[in-house]
């Protein structure tokens, strides 16, 4: 994965990338003028990425609803897309904002905002028994909310600690600490 835009690991610089970006910019302009089919093309291109981001950030239970919210918000905000960055970059940041706006409610509903070291140790300390066969994605999903969100945003999505701190309302040092705890916990779930 090549990071070409600060904070977002979406674009690879290959010969087709520029043409793809142009086509998406054109589709975004058409969609902004009310062209539903152009917007559907954008949806088809980005739904897997958006849905995966949502699923990793908040878990599978609400992923469909929030992914829908992302695209509805994108449709309503298309006029603000200026084409300065790739559409995927713009959509991705918008998706993060939608997710973070929902996370407090979800966290309250689930009572899962326990980022204590004990919880992290619990994830890390499970025995590597045969029945403990969750894959890496599942292991990410079992991390406490704070550690999981920092891990997803930093190691999967490519955001910097200062960006994450700004988004999550924490200090960069906390972001670094959460990331390290998440990585340490996930070591147990590497393929042997």
Partner 1 sequence: MKDQWTDRLSQYLDGELAAPERTTLEAHLASCDVCRTTLEELRRVVTNARALDDRPPAADLWPAVAARIGLSPREQARPVVRRFSFTVPQLAAASVVLALLSAAAAWLIVRRGTVPTAPVAVAERAPVLLNASAYPGDARFDAQVADLERALARGRGRLDTATVRVIERNLRIIDRAIRGAQSALAADPANSYLNLHLAQEMRRKLELLRQAATLAGARS
Q: Which residues contact 113 (CB under 8 A, 6 or more apart)?
A: 107, 144, 145, 146
Looking at the Cβ atoms of 108 and 116, the one nearer to partner 1 is 116
Closer Cβ to partner 1, 100 or 184, answer by number: 184
Strand residues in 32-169 grouped as ranges (E): none
121 touching partner 1, by CB under 8 A = no
- Cα separation, 178 vs 36, in Å, equals 41
Choosing from 59, 83, 107, 141, the residue that interacts with partner 1 (CB under 8 A) is 83
Indicate whether 137 belongs to the interface with partner 1 (CB under 8 A). Answer: yes
Q: Does 124 interact with partner 1 (rule: CB under 8 A)?
A: no
Per-residue CA distances from 167 to 49, 80, 92, 163 (Å): 19, 20, 13, 6
Is the CB of 99 or the CB of 179 nearer to partner 1?
179
Q: Do 114 and 164 touch, CB atoms closer than 8 A?
A: no
Question: Are 66 and 96 within 8 A, CB to CB?
Answer: no
43 touches partner 1 by CB under 8 A: yes
Q: Which positions lie near partner 1, rule CB under 8 A?
A: 1, 9, 16, 19-20, 22-23, 25-26, 29-30, 36-37, 39-41, 43-45, 47-49, 51-52, 55, 63-64, 67-68, 71-72, 75-76, 83-84, 136-137, 140, 151, 155-156, 176-177, 179-180, 183-184, 186-187, 190-191
């Amino acid at each position: 994965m090549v990071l070409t835009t600060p904070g977002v690991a979406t674009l690879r610089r290959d010969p087709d990338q520029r043409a793809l970006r142009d086509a998406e910019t054109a589709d975004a302009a058409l969609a902004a003028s009310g062209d539903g089919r152009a917007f559907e093309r954008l949806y088809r291109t980005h739904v897997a990425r958006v849905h995966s981001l949502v699923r990793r950030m908040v878990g599978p239970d609400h992923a469909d609803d929030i992914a829908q919210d992302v695209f509805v918000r994108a449709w309503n905000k298309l006029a603000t897309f200026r084409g300065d960055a790739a559409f995927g970059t713009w959509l991705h940041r918008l998706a993060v904002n939608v997710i973070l706006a929902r996370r407090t409610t979800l966290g309250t509903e689930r009572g899962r905002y326990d980022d204590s070291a004990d919880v992290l140790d619990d994830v890390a300390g499970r025995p590597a028994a045969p029945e403990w066969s969750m894959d890496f994605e599942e292991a990410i999903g079992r991390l406490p909310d704070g550690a999981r969100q920092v891990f997803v945003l930093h190691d999967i999505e490519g955001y910097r600690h200062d960006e994450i701190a700004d988004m999550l309302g924490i200090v960069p040092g906390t972001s670094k600490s959460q990331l390290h705890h998440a990585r340490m916990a996930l070591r147990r779930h590497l393929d042997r």
